[in-house]
Amino acid sequence: MSADILLEVRGLRTVFDTRAGQVCAVDGVDVTVNRGECLGIVGESGSGKSVTFASVMGLVRVPGRIEAGEIVFDGIDLRKLSAKKMQAMRGRDIAMTMQDALTALNPALTVGEQLAEMLAAHADDLPPGRMARRAAIRARAIEMLTRVGIPSAGERLGQYPHEFSGGMRQRIMIALALAAKPRLLIADEPTTALDVTIQAQVLELISALRAEFGMSVVLITHDLGVVAQHCDRVMVMYAGQVVEEGPTAQVIRQPRHPYTQGLLASIPRPARRGQPIRPIQGQVPELVNLPPQCRFLERCPLADDACRHPIDMRPAGPERRARCIRITTPDIEKGLSHDI
Ligand SMILES: Nc1ncnc2c1ncn2[C@@H]1O[C@H](COP(=O)(O)OP(=O)(O)OP(=O)(O)O)[C@@H](O)[C@H]1O
Ligand code: SF4
Ligand SMILES: [Mg+2]
């Protein structure tokens, strides 16, 4: 493993046993996160973004299980760690903010108590002595809440999660995740519930802390504009697989996979005012008993019989890969050119 790599996932396969059969939510996913970088993860709803990173965190619960794959964080094989050691790593080394802030926060503890618990367990630069330590924790908790844009933070420490709005809860969860200064922050749709100004504020905070602490970030989002602005590299997921990855600017300017091209064509942009937005036709396939063929076949404008077998990721330029047999054909070369 190269010294620059913080997280390396190889061949991850996570399944859910359901009445309809085995749902293969993540099927052979590889992820590399370098130290200090921001990796964006995009893809339609149900493509396996959250399950991939819940697997990394060791948070997949019955009826789900990791069936195969390696998850190595800073040289440590996470799948071989005891539940206790994994628990200690969560929060301190890797933190994840969940899509659903209400279920992720503890309803029985005040926001101040939850932040204090996190800081007491993981902050290693607190002063000695009980009183000084308590004062430092309180000051740090107020600072974190203020930095995520919660006004009158000192007064709100004594309130419970249900006393905050959805957007506020999202911000509290981000403050909690950042409190321990983890080496890797996985932010799952961190700004979906927030208004535009607060969105920008939260993303700026994440970027600032990334620079301040050399933290790596995985940003899961539907918003390609956010990816364009904040992520060094991007990984596009479709139906449980990675279909394209590479440096953000290149992927956005010249997407190689027809699915990525479709995603980009479906966003409204001022530069294309007056032109129709073209949503991708059709739907993501059910992840049960998938036929052995390209998963995008039913929706792909370039599909033909050659696509009726499983397709591997293949090189698509320097530092780029995509899962499509047509990568080097003129059809895709001419592709679409995008500026976000
Ligand atoms: N508890 C569960 N039981 C059965 N299937 C599940 C369960 N959780 C997830 N899945 C399956 O895994 C698939 C991937 O889910 P995941 O939450 O990772 O998607 P996502 O890409 O994060 O979507 P979104 O953008 O909506 O958050 C889902 O389509 C669903 O079929
Ligand atoms: S392999 Fe075929 S069906 Fe799949 S994305 Fe490429 S052209 Fe489309
Ligand atoms: Mg999700």
pTM above 0.85, yes or no: yes
- Other beta carbons less than 10 A from residue 318's beta carbon: 8
Are residue 246 and residue 202 in the same domain, yes or no?
no
Please check whether residues 172 and 244 belong to one and the same domain.
Answer: no
Query: Does residue 165 line the site of ligand 1, with CB under 6 A?
Result: no
Pairing status of strand 5-18 against strand 184-188: unpaired
Gap from CA of 190 to ligand 3 centroid (Å): 11
| Cβ-contact 302, 258 below 8 angstroms | yes
54 phi/psi in degrees, rounded to 5: -65, -35
Q: How far is the CA of 41 from the centre of ligand 2 (A)?
A: 21
Tell me: pLDDT of 330 over 50.
no
On whether residue 339 sits in a domain, the answer given is no
- CATH value at residue 157: 3.40.50.300
Q: What is the DSSP letter of 247?
A: E
Q: Within this chain, do residues 223 and 242 fall inside the same structural domain, yes or no?
A: no
Which residue of 26, 41, 51, 242 sits with most ligand 1 atoms within 8 Å of its CB, as the best mutation to test the pocket? 51
Tens of pLDDT, residues 239-282: 999 999 999 999 999 999 999 999 998 877 666 556 666 778 88
CA of 100 to the centre of ligand 3 (A): 9
Ligand 2 atom with least separation from CA of 325 = 1
Find all residues with CB under 8 Å of 320, minimum gap 6, and list them: 244, 245, 246, 247, 250, 251, 256
Question: Domain limits at 202?
Answer: 5-231
Count of domains forming the chain: 2
Residue 340 falls inside a structural domain: no
**Is 274 domain-assigned?**
yes
Please work out whether the CB of residue 311 comes within 6 Å of at least one atom of ligand 2.
Answer: yes
Q: Is the CB of 239 under 6 A from ligand 2?
A: no
Q: What type of residue sits at position 309?
A: H
- Using the atom order of ligand 1, give the atom closest to the CA of residue 287: 31
Residue at a domain's end among 193, 215, 231:
231
Q: In this structure, is residue 257 part of a structural domain?
A: yes
Q: pLDDT tens across 7-45, in order?
A: 999 999 999 999 989 999 999 999 999 999 999 999 999
